[in-house]
Amino acid sequence: MEGLFDVQLAVNGKTRTVADDATITRLLEELQINPLRVAVQLNERIIKRELYERTLLQAGDTLEIITFMAGGSS
């Protein structure tokens, strides 16, 4: 069954609401992000890809999802 309550997170500087049983994997799915092309930092700590499935998101969490973008120098 889906989570009963929504929790608010900050994802890449923007507020986002997810179900209270949402994991990083679930969040990436919702955002249509390929997990193999990003790195995720949760509250200042880098989370290993193999832990995405098991990492539950909690109210007030701050996430950074980064990837490679076009760029040469500064």
Partner 1 sequence: MRSGTALEYSVSERDDILKFGGREFRSRLIVGTGKFPDHRTMQQAHEASGAEMVTVAVRRVNLDRAQESLLDYIDTERYALLPNTAGCYSAEEAIKTAMLAREVGLSDMVKLEVIGDQRTLFPDNEELLKATKVLVKEGFVVLPYTNDDPIMAKKLEDAGAAVVMPLAAPIGSGLGIRNPHNIRIILEAARVPIIVDAGVGTASDASIAMELGCDGVLMNTAIACAKDPVGMATAMRYAMIAGRLAYLAGRIPKKLYASASSPLEGMIE
The CB-of-30 to partner 1 minimum distance in angstroms stands at 10
Give the residue, chosen from 10, 11, 21, 25, that forms a contact with partner 1 under the rule CB under 8 A.
11
For 13-50, give the secondary structure using H, E and C.
CEEEEEECCCEHHHHHHHCCCCHHHCEEEECCEEECHH
Q: Is the dihedral of CA 38, 6, 3, 60 positive or negative?
A: positive
Can residue 51 be called a binding residue for partner 1 (CB under 8 A)?
no
Q: Among 49, 58, 59, 62, indicate the residue that binds partner 1 (CB under 8 A).
A: 49
Binding residues for partner 1, per CB under 8 A? Answer: 11-14, 31-34, 36-41, 46, 48-49, 64-74
